[in-house]
Amino acid sequence: MLNTTAWNRLRYGLYAPLYDAVVERALRRARREALAQVHWRPGMRVLLVGAGTGLDLPWLPRDLELHATDLAPAMVRRLARRAEALDRDVEAAVMDAEALDFPDGHFDVVVMHLILAVMPDPARGLAEAHRVLADDGQLCVMDKFQADDRPAGLGRRALNLATSAIATDITRRARPLLEGAGFVVEADTPVLMGSLFRALLARKGQA
């Protein structure tokens, strides 16, 4: 299956000029609803993983310490320009979500929007999110998932060979992924196209 870090860096670099036109309006409400589930406090240190062109920025409180990463340099450049236009102070960096260059327990909130269905190894990405979150931190996820109670059928897996190469994996299940990484899901809300797109809020489980 053509879903590797190198391929994702290349294709999202190519997608960057068209990304906002395709994605911004379609997912505006879903982003807003996902972020509204977070219990925000002034001064929180927040990490946007796979932040793309920064489409989450307009829906975030202003009194936060914001950090953002993306695999594609072209996306990070556009994110930086959006942050400047919105007068938001954002530390943006090119970084692999599966190997975050941040210390353990560093963030109060980690936001992962539209990345778990894209990255080659979502379990590893979630393990990194778990690592960099404070013990009382919150994980905010919004993405497309199939039903949690059954694995993908043969037809869906066959179609996924194409969709995962050009856009997104359509076989991933939210709760098994999050719970497998040590998270406890506190909210799970359908936000678009029935229950295809879901917004989940999770915390670290008790050791």
The CATH number that applies at residue 194 is: 3.40.50.150
Which structure tokens are listed for 126? 């979630």
33 Cβ neighbours under 8 A, 6+ residues apart:
189, 191, 199
Average pLDDT of 84-105?
98
Q: Give dist(CA 77, CA 186) in Å, integer.
A: 34
Is this structure's pTM higher than 0.85? yes
Mind listing the pLDDT tens digit for each residue in 101-135?
A: 999 999 999 999 999 999 999 999 999 999 999 99
Report yes or no: 44 and 78 within 8 Å, Cβ to Cβ: no
Q: How many helices (H) and strands (E) does the chain have?
A: 5, 7
Task: Report how many domains make up the chain.
Answer: 1
Per the model's pLDDT, the better-predicted residue between 94 and 10 turns out to be 94
Mind listing the pLDDT tens digit for each residue in 132-153?
A: 999 999 999 999 999 998 777 7
Q: Give dist(CA 24, CA 7) in Å, integer.
A: 23
Its domain, for residue 100, covers: 5-204
Residue 78 amino acid letter: R
Q: Give dist(CA 188, CA 200) in Å, integer.
A: 4
Q: Give dist(CA 1, CA 161) in Å, integer.
A: 6
